[in-house]
Structure 1
Amino acid sequence: MAPKVRPAKRVEGQRKDVWSIINEAAAAADKEVINLGQGFFGYNPPSFILNAAKDALDRVDCNQYSPTAGRPRLREALSASYSPFFGRKINPATEIVVTSGANEGMLSAFMGFIEPGDEVILMEPYFDQYISNIEMAGGKIVYVSLHPPEKGDTQVCSADEWKLDLGELEAAFTEKTRMIVINSPHNPIGKIFSRDELKAIGDLCVKHNTIILSDEVYDRLYYKPFTRIATLSPEIEDLTITVGSAGKNFYCTGWRVGWLIGKEHLIKYAGAAHTRICFSSVSPLQEATAIGFELADTHNFWTLSKREMQRKMTLFNSIWHELSLPYTEPDGGYFVLVNLSSIRIPDDYEFPPHVLERPRDFKLAWFLIRELGVAAIPPTEFYTERNQREAENYLRFAVCKEDEVLEKAKERLRGLRMFMV
């Protein structure tokens, strides 16, 4: 008998992840399930972007390899769009690399700078892909919490009330700290870090010569002033790699077009890793993204997109007011955290073992799918075990869906009344 195939340690022994659990619950439900868990859009990009993608498929050059750093037209469009925010001309040839989605861009940044034993500071809750990407590069993760407001169990709170303790952050830096990851607007909280918070974080990174990976994929969906950390000082900019995403900007998460922006001494190494990971990204969709940026202002797209998502947020969150359930009012993005501490699951309710062993929010998510047919994401998946209790009463809902889907979900969520205390 042939010897058993031995997997690499980086992928062996992984427990069932949140996406598998939620999809399994939905598949076993006796009703159609409304998916407000995963953050993909329930509608298409606007026609001017879709038409650009269709037209690109008819061009020979758009069906062949793009330069590894990205198509020149897209890098020029990104430079034109982002330079006004940065207050200087971003060099499209040396300060931008186009990646296969923001996730591959972040992996490229980690692979470009993290070596075994290097430490990376993450704030929890975190986007779960950060973890595997850092560990793939051999990095050690050091966690610092964004603490929820104490009144979150009983009152509607603003996302900016989730606080970073700067003393805890400073204590996390060591001589091995190589990088810190910031996410603003934040998934899943919806927090936009204030200018003062970002300046304090940036100054610590300058003091410790630490690279800042600033995940700003929701940078066009902000409902209060939004500051880019790279713009706060030349010293901070010298350490900052900014991450962006066409999928989040243009409602096309399946296109997998992202980018990294930063000074040449940072981008050239992240770009070198990107070259070795996937060489280049999808050519016709890069071209369409470039045209999207070129035409966005003509169509007043950024303003309308922001206004529409905020309208959907208000539309959906009316159900929590109706049920007197507290939630975190997001300052950006398209997720909302809802506190369900007042929901009582029957004591004899049966859960599969892999749900029973997880925190309360997993049980709430399973219960919501099976009883009401609405899927949401348990946010303790985005925490270490040490701090899971801070989020075990919350669920995360995505509002980037058609209005009729949100209304249908609201109708089903009214069924929570029978389980409230």
Structure 2
Amino acid sequence: MILSRSTLLSTFAHFKNLTVSLSPTLPRLSGFGARPMSATAARPDPFRPAARVAGQRQDVWSIVNEAAAASPVQPIVNMGQGFFGYNPPKFALDAAKDALDRVECNQYSPTKGRPRLKQAIADAYSPFFGKTINPDTEVTITTGANEGMLSAFMGFIEPGDEVIIFEPFFDQYISNIEMPGGTIRYVPLQPPKDGATRTSPASEWTINFEELEKAINPKTKMIVLNSPHNPVGKVFSREELERIGDLCVKHNLIILSDEVYDRLFYVPFTRIATLSPQLYERTLTVGSAGKAFYATGWRVGYLIGPEHLIKYVAGAHTRICYSSVSPLQEAAAVAFEQAEKEGFWDESRTDMKNKISRFCEVFDELGIPYSDPEGGYFVLANMASVKLPADYPFPAHVANRPRDFKLCWFLIQEVGVAAIPPTEFYTDANSHIAEDYLRFAVCKNDDVLETAKERLRGLKKYITL
């Protein structure tokens, strides 16, 4: 059938009107006499950031670093971020240099880690676990402990799942849990009631177990431990770990045990995964070669645990970054192989304990109490006795934060020492617990510690006892 020109035009007009009336928001096609719709009007702003980063306030690291750069007292003594002020041991450095000369160490490693490193970790940790760890099925290597924990959360946490963490917490836990859709339940460690007037062991930061069990509900899937603890310096006692473990068995929870400071302990140290076969089967133990060998920039982390957990961590790691830095994995393997025979583990513990004692002399002089660390290399000093001038000109982004941010800013500007305000590691509701404390990292050369001590003596005129 052949349609006349007038029939065609009439049919087209009818079709165009029907389309517009049925879907007035449909874009009109150019070429039919209609004006094309702007692409940006048809969809949301593509430059709008995701909610997980859009609402973030300025982080503590940038606040402290910017303040330090602008301080009238230069050079700043940086006791804030926990990086080492000295190199890894010679046997680790030599292994890194040697690895760079080997072709296979400059190419992709297997996604679960280099076999030599997995074997070295299995050999190093089997005596602690009381069993032979299988390097192929019970160890996986990650790009730093932080990416390892992200992989653990990505491997098990889905929208609606809940994770329990203790306050204060390592700040990366929050984003790592929330990115896969998890919800966090917070349980604060309770500081000693007289922490403002008496130096006390870090063990006196305690768990309210009734509050901990109340935080558990049918949506709870995981609990995160950190021992030795950052920033408190607490090493969880065997009794505390047994009570936590009993709750995890009772409520069928996975345990993520962040033990990145596991070689720096000054009291008996217990790993929760070693308490019973039941607990091993539900525990992912996180370690860090960077922390162990003074090489935080190497970004070599690892997880140890049963195959039915490790394989999913490894699966998530594969999708996040595929594999980790090859030459530094090889260097870490050699370092683990040699550390015991070099006497490194005992030496590193002794050296760090001496640094803590050396640095804390200034707080003893000033009458500033502190939480005496049982592990790690952070000291929490209680600055309640330091009276800040009422008219001190704090910038707006510091003035509206808790008192420890003001203390931090004041120390940087007036005495030239940078520390970290620990309320960054709390929810707003519980920040009052730590607002009189500052965290100092003592993993620095002794001359730096002495300079910091001399500068901190400048606080004497602000102290009211």
TM-score w.r.t. length of structure 2? 0.90
1:28 aligns with 2:70: yes
Q: Distance in 1 between matches of 2:78 and 2:177?
A: 29
Deviation at 1:366, TM superposition (A): 0.3
Q: 1:109 is matched with which residue: 124, 149, 152?
A: 152
Q: 2:277 is matched with which residue: 215, 234, 240?
A: 234
1:178 aligns with 2:221: yes
Deviation at 1:386, TM superposition (A): 1.1
Runs of 5+ consecutive residues of structure 2 not aligned to the other structure: 1-37
Alignment of 1:232-271 (within 5 A): 232-271=275-314
Runs of 5+ consecutive residues of structure 1 not aligned to the other structure: none
1:8 aligns with 2:8: no
Secondary structure of the corresponding residue to residue 180 of structure 1: strand
Q: CA RMSD in A?
A: 0.8
1:58 corresponds to:
101
1:77 corresponds to:
120
Amino acid at match of 1:26: A
Q: Distance in 2 between matches of 1:174 and 1:150?
A: 30
Secondary structure of the corresponding residue to residue 284 of structure 2: strand
Q: Distance in 2 between matches of 1:297 and 1:366?
A: 42
1:321 corresponds to:
364
Alignment of 1:194-205 (within 5 A): 194-205=237-248
Amino acid at match of 2:63: I
Q: Distance in 1 between matches of 2:252 and 2:102?
A: 45
Amino acid at match of 1:115: E
2:131 corresponds to:
88
* Percentage of matched positions with identical amino acids: 67
1:275 aligns with 2:318: yes
Q: 1:146 is matched with which residue: 181, 189, 204?
A: 189
Alignment of 1:268-417 (within 5 A): 268-417=311-460
Deviation at 1:298, TM superposition (A): 1.3
Q: Distance in 2 between matches of 1:134 and 1:64?
A: 31
1:17 aligns with 2:44: no
Q: Distance in 1 between matches of 2:149 and 2:352?
A: 26
Q: Distance in 1 between matches of 2:331 and 2:318?
A: 22
Structure 1 or 2, whichever has the larger Rg, is: 2
Q: Distance in 1 between matches of 2:103 and 2:276?
A: 43
Amino acid at match of 2:55: G
Amino acid at match of 2:214: A
Q: Distance in 2 between matches of 1:40 and 1:283?
A: 22
2:143 corresponds to:
100
Q: Distance in 1 between matches of 2:409 and 2:63?
A: 8
Q: Distance in 2 between matches of 1:43 and 1:290?
A: 20
Deviation at 1:44, TM superposition (A): 0.1
Deviation at 1:381, TM superposition (A): 0.4
Q: Distance in 2 between matches of 1:294 and 1:303?
A: 15
1:120 corresponds to:
163
Deviation at 1:30, TM superposition (A): 1.2
Q: Distance in 1 between matches of 2:279 and 2:90?
A: 38
Q: Distance in 1 between matches of 2:70 and 2:107?
A: 43
Amino acid at match of 2:69: A
Amino acid at match of 1:317: C
Q: Distance in 2 between matches of 1:132 and 1:176?
A: 19
Q: Distance in 1 between matches of 2:290 and 2:458?
A: 34
Deviations 1:81-123, CA, capped at 9 Å, x for gaps: 0000000000000010000000000000000000001000000
Deviations 1:160-203, CA, capped at 9 Å, x for gaps: 00000111111110000000000000000000000000010011
2:265 corresponds to:
222
Amino acid at match of 1:134: I
TM-score w.r.t. length of structure 1? 0.99
Secondary structure of the corresponding residue to residue 164 of structure 1: coil
Deviations 1:245-301, CA, capped at 9 Å, x for gaps: 011100000000000100000000011000000000000000000000000011100
Secondary structure of the corresponding residue to residue 11 of structure 1: helix
Deviation at 1:416, TM superposition (A): 0.4
Deviation at 1:4, TM superposition (A): 5.9
Q: Distance in 1 between matches of 2:138 and 2:341?
A: 26
Amino acid at match of 2:394: F
Amino acid at match of 1:78: I
Deviation at 1:137, TM superposition (A): 1.1
2:3 corresponds to:
none
Secondary structure of the corresponding residue to residue 260 of structure 1: strand
1:213 aligns with 2:220: no
Question: How many residue pairs end up in the alignment?
Answer: 421
Q: Distance in 2 between matches of 1:115 and 1:216?
A: 24
